[in-house]
Chain A
């Protein structure tokens, strides 16, 4: 912050700078970096970069362990990886009744990847953006999960998987029944039959809203937590020398948030997919 203050930058500028993505888009037939407001075909280079780098980090570490996974005495890294895998496996076995080949790798990927992306929040807020400025990158937002695009992309993927498996397991009829016969069962005979369409319509509106709220709440929960955490780190960074103990305390607290949000995202994914596989409704 101090150098920025020296350069005549206000606190608002500092915060805005930290919360602006490095965007790439085509403007009047030319590729431009920045100045992409309102252009859907813009790409947040920094979010994509860190997200993909962390994803590659995940598949590299886990892949290397998986490739030479020994059945005998595992090494320390293998033990650590197996602990994570075992943790995810237990969570799935507890919450997921159906049978699916996708759910386990999906959950593991989400948990580790989101955890790594969240973990970028614990790198002091000025380090990477300052290095970026030195090598000529004007904006650098290092925590991918503070970008709503990233969280939405993941929650929508989960949402689409939910729809896919619902249709696959229950068929269109069963899936439609879930929207209309629930939570209030419409009367099937007698005078109450007149009220049935009203009840079905009511059910449909209620269930649709609840269903569509899922990906939105899933992504906004993660995004909100990480964005707020990042903002507080930035605000702490603004107060000068006394930031150190405060930053330390918030970072320790944030370790909890980072892990918890990754776990919640994974857990809700499992629960949603479990409901999609659940035919007993």
Chain B
């Protein structure tokens, strides 16, 4: 319990330990702690930035997609309009062709009819002549059959 030289020894020991701590312990540990704190803070900032970047990219992608969707719709509309145009055109062409064909056929038929009629007329005339010849060869009485022959000739 006496106060003695221990007090001096302890003071020297304390000075040494505090000096050692000041020189070799505290700065190193504090450096490590502060460096890690900075790293963590940086990491959090980076994560925050990444998150906002992701959101921005997502909204950009969304706008690109909607734009593309609009373009696709436009293209489809144009294509369908074009298709109906083509169909209409084809229909009009078809109608014209049909009419043309019909007309040419009708013309041909007319020609055929006229030709047939001419032929028929010739044949009828020949038959009439032959009939007349036969009648004449049996009884020639021009006076009696004059009316008949005249009527026949008029009929032709």
A51 & B10 in contact (Cβ 8 Å cutoff): yes
CB of A70 closer than 8 Å to a CB of B? yes
The residues in B between 1 and 27 inclusive whose CB is less than 8 angstroms from any CB of A are: 1-11, 13-18, 20-22, 24-26
In the complex, the answer to whether B4 meets A42 with C-beta atoms within 8 Å is: yes
Q: How far is the CB of B143 from chain A (nearest CB, A)?
A: 150
**CB pair A74 B32 closer than 8 Å:** yes
Asked if A65 and B2 make an inter-chain contact with CB atoms under 8 angstroms apart, the answer reads: no
Closest chain-B Cβ to A54's Cβ sits at a distance in Å of 10
A59 in the interface, Cβ–Cβ < 8 Å?
A: yes
On B, residues with C-beta under 8 Å from A are 1-11, 13-18, 20-22, 24-26, 28-33, 35-36, 39
Q: Are B14 and A108 in contact (CB under 8 A)?
A: no
In angstroms, Cα B8 to Cα A273, docked, is: 22
| Contact flag A55-B13 (CB < 8 Å), given A62-B21, A62-B25, A104-B26 | yes
Determine if A51 and B4 form an interchain contact, defined as CB atoms under 8 angstroms apart: no
How far is B30's CA from A108's CA once the two chains are assembled, in angstroms?
12
Query: Is residue A241 within 8 Å, beta carbon to beta carbon, of the partner chain?
Result: no
The minimal Cβ–Cβ distance linking B100 to chain A, given in whole angstroms, is: 91
Is A280 on the interface with B (CB-CB < 8 A)? no
Residue of B3, B18, B25 most packed against chain A (CB within 10 A): B25
Contacting residues, chain A, for B20 (C-beta < 8 A): 59, 63
Is residue A43 contacting chain B, with contact meaning CB distance below 8 A?
yes
Q: Which residues of chain A come closer than 8 Å to B28, judged between CB atoms? A: 66-67, 69
Q: What does DSSP make chain A's interface, helix, strand, loop or mixed?
A: helix
A150 touches B10 (CB 8 A): yes
B156 to chain A, nearest CB (A): 128
**B25 in contact with A149 (CB, 8 Å):** no
The residue of chain A having its C-beta at the shortest distance from the C-beta of B21 within the complex is A105
Contact B26 A43 (CB under 8 A): no
Whether A43 and B15, one on each chain, are in contact in the complex, defined by CB atoms closer than 8 angstroms, is no
Residues of A within 8 A of B35 (CB): 71
Question: In whole angstroms, how far apart are the Cα atoms of A86 and B32 in the complex?
Answer: 11
One of A126-134, A152-160, A260-268 at the interface: A152-160
The interface size bin for chain A is: 35 or more
A190 within 8 A of B: no
Within the complex, the shortest CB–CB distance from A37 to chain B, in Å, comes to: 7
With an 8 A cutoff between CB atoms, is A162 at the interface? no
B6 contact set on A, CB distance < 8 A: 21, 42-44, 47-48, 147, 149-150, 153
Task: Pick 12 A–B contacts, CB within 8 A, sort by A.
Answer: A23-B4, A36-B4, A40-B3, A63-B24, A63-B25, A71-B32, A71-B39, A113-B17, A149-B4, A153-B8, A153-B10, A156-B7
**Contact residue among B10, B16, B39 (Cβ-Cβ distance under 8 Å from A48):** B10
Contacting pair B9 A48 (CB below 8 A): yes
The reply to whether B5 and A42 form a contact with Cβ atoms under 8 Å apart is yes
0/1 per residue, A136-176, Cβ < 8 Å to B? 00000000100111101110110000000000000000000
Q: Name the contact of B5 in the complex, choosing from A37, A41, A101, A108 (C-beta under 8 A).
A: A41
Instruction: Assess whether A40 is in contact with B10, with CB atoms less than 8 Å apart.
Output: no
Q: A55-91 toward B: CB 8 Å interface, digit per residue (1/0)? A: 1001100110111011110100010011001100100
B5-A43 in contact (CB<8A): yes
The 4 A-B residue pairs with the shortest CB-CB distance in the complex, in nearest-first order: A153-B10, A149-B6, A69-B32, A66-B28
User: Considering the chains assembled together, what is the distance between the CA atoms of A55 and B9 in angstroms?
Assistant: 13
Is A32 at the interface (CB under 8 A from chain B)? Answer: no
B65 to chain A, nearest CB (A): 42
Docked Cα-Cα span, A52 to B10, in Å, equals: 8
Chain B residues, CB < 8 A from A71: 31-32, 35-36, 39
Q: Give the Cβ gap from A224 to chain B, nearest Cβ, in Å.
A: 12
